[in-house]
Amino acid sequence: MAAALARFLCLNGDAAKASPLPTTDDALPSTTERADVSSRRAEPHDGRVGAGDWSGLLEPLDEDLRAELLKYGDLAQATYDGFDGRHWSPYCGTCLHGLRRLLPALGLAGHGYVATAFVYATCEGKIPRWLHGEAWDGHANWIGYVAVAGAAEARRLRYRDVLVAWRGTIAPNEWAMDMRTRMVPFEVDAGVDRGAKVARGFHSIYTSRNDEIKHGERSAREQVAGELARVVGHFRGRGEAVRVTVTGHSLGGALALLAARDAAAAHPGVPVAAVTFSAPRVGNRAFCEGLASRGVRVLRVVVRHDVVPLVPSVPRVVVDAPVSKALAKLWALTGRPPSWAYVHSGDELRLDVRKSRFLKHAYDVVGFHDLETCLHLLDGHESAAGPFRSGASRDVALVNKTTGMLRGKERIPAWWYGPANKGLVRNTLGRWVVAEREHDDLPVPDDRLPLSELD
């Protein structure tokens, strides 16, 4: 979304900023300890039903809930760190790592999840050639993954958590789709979803398919649905308690809500929660009511000055700012937005950049929207009125992975996260070439982890 333009501009410049490579395997992104929550209600599935669902846990923010949210934030960040966005790479648009190696390679093995399937997405229609590099032309892009809590994490949570993590905007064709805000129907069940509509661009990324391109024979929607059916069916068949959590940042947060709605419809009786970071509005009132009626719990983590959660407001047919402001006042008076207006789902946890002594407070549209900035603020948040938490332990250097938000006194360079020599290595002849991937990291269509490996 807001960061997408900056990432796009880097494609033909310093591409290391747009397509970072992981550092060492043991470079854990956070030192936050997660408590055993098997005996209490401090995680995304266990909020109270009804208005103010999260009020008892958000103000002040429950410590165990904060740790769970940071965990999901790290797992969402993996979709950025694992993406090969180097336009000179023969595997541009895929995941840098193989299915089994993704989370360990990014230092996330300690989070207790195992990736079971990758998710790829394509877009409908033609994208202007100047908006994409040659390597992105003709195939789908890796946009997320499905993972399952291992035995130890399942015991800690008291259920088998099935995670779907979605990436935000990186590829230029996705950036173009973000701009398509005309509403289209999204009715899974006409009896429940009558009148439900969502942004056309998000819907296209989620549902488009193309039999002629690699990894594009099934839509992202179909890939996730198939994997959830396999994994949920496996563990429910063994008598285990199963829950589904979808997460994502920016565009990934929008796709998470679409997937959450589908998961709840396909698996009645399985609790579904969506934890999104800096996500835009996705659909109209009927779409949001469809989520609530299916029992999907939605928690949105946003940064106060980030513009992305404010859009879209109305479809592009209403573009005049004074008209939009007048409509907003009318909605506030009636308390019920019209069916053609975009609205948010669920509850919101709002973070404030000004509370952190580590961050610059000058306006930075990219920095405010960055996921690592959001996670830094989340680690330090206790309450709306309270100061930055003294016990915050997340490494502040992570903020500058793909931004310049840290103050100069922290001595951390901006946009530092990238491969040595932009991924080039010397071959046996002494020439600089793109490093070959190891066999286990090569993209494999329809690769899925045998569930017996999780036993």
Task: Exactly one of 19, 204, 219, 250 is catalytic; name it.
Answer: 250
| Catalytic residue flag (residue 369) | yes
CA 224 distance to own-chain centroid: 14
Q: Give the span between the Cα atoms of 253 and 76, in whole angstroms.
A: 9
3-state secondary structure of 141: strand
The one catalytic residue in 161, 178, 262, 306 is 306
* Residues across the chain: 455
Q: Are 180 and 200 in contact (CB under 8 A)?
A: yes
How far is it, in rounded angstroms, from Cα 259 to Cα 1? Answer: 19
Q: Is 208 a catalytic residue?
A: no
Task: Say if residues 371 and 249 touch (Cβ distance below 8 Å).
Answer: yes
DSSP codes joined into one string, 245-292: EEEEETHHHHHHHHHHHHHHHHSTTS-EEEEEES----B-HHHHHHHH
Outline where DSSP puts E strands in 150-241: 160-166, 183-185, 197-199
List 203, 215, 369, 381, catalytic entry: 369
CA distance 410 to 413: 9
Let me know the angle formed at the C-alpha of 378 by 71 and 99, rounded to the nearest 5 degrees. 25
**Active site annotation includes 250:** yes
User: Active-site residue numbers?
Assistant: 250, 306, 369
